[in-house]
Amino acid sequence: MATTRVLRRRLSPKTIFLHPPRALTPLAMSNRCNTSPKRRKPWQPYLRLPAFLPVPLRARRDGWTPQRQAKFIGLLAQTGCVRTAAQMLGLSRESAYRLRRHPEAGSFVAAWNTALKGRTQPRWKFTQADRAPLAFGQLLQPRMWRRRFMGIQRKASNPALLALVTNLDRQTAGCDVDPFTDRQARALFGRFL
């Protein structure tokens, strides 16, 4: 009888809207907030995409320009999908794989692999034939911030420029030709002489 009296008191019209009876609630209510720790995503280190030499192709307005190649690598790192990254640039997946298979696409492939795997790969070793493009700022690096593609940075390599100057110095050391009048020197270093 004592329990029915307690239920009747709780079910009175004055208190029913304030607190539902315990017998009718599925779980006991408490005044405490959720005490379980919040799950956070593990910290992801910032992905630094390597600088690469764009694949030399015929110049086409709707094709793979050097800027589009760098944007593709950045979008590939952001999305993780070749088809989506190519579609965002208005190009096809097949043409992206065709560009990857190009014989002179070594550093482009290294940047592609880094973008897909999400961690830095061993650096691509540039050959002596790549020194001139490296020295004159044809090296492109996609810039990422918090896993989002932000833009392209054009980089010049000072060691490659110094190696070119040293090589030119060695070639002209034994001859009596003035490097300022030599056509090959003018072609290589025209804007610096």
This prediction's pTM: 0.62
Torsion of CA 91, 115, 146, 39, to 10 degrees: 120
The answer to whether the CB of 28 falls within 8 A of the CB of 22 is: yes
In whole angstroms, give the CA distance from residue 103 to residue 61. Answer: 22
The answer to whether the CB of 98 falls within 8 A of the CB of 91 is: no
Confidence tier at 56 by pLDDT (50, 70, 90): confident
What pLDDT does 93 receive? Answer: 94
Residue range 4-23, pLDDT digits in tens = 555 555 555 555 555 555 55
* Of the ranges 46-55, 58-67, 121-130, the best mean pLDDT one: 58-67
Confidence tier at 107 by pLDDT (50, 70, 90): confident
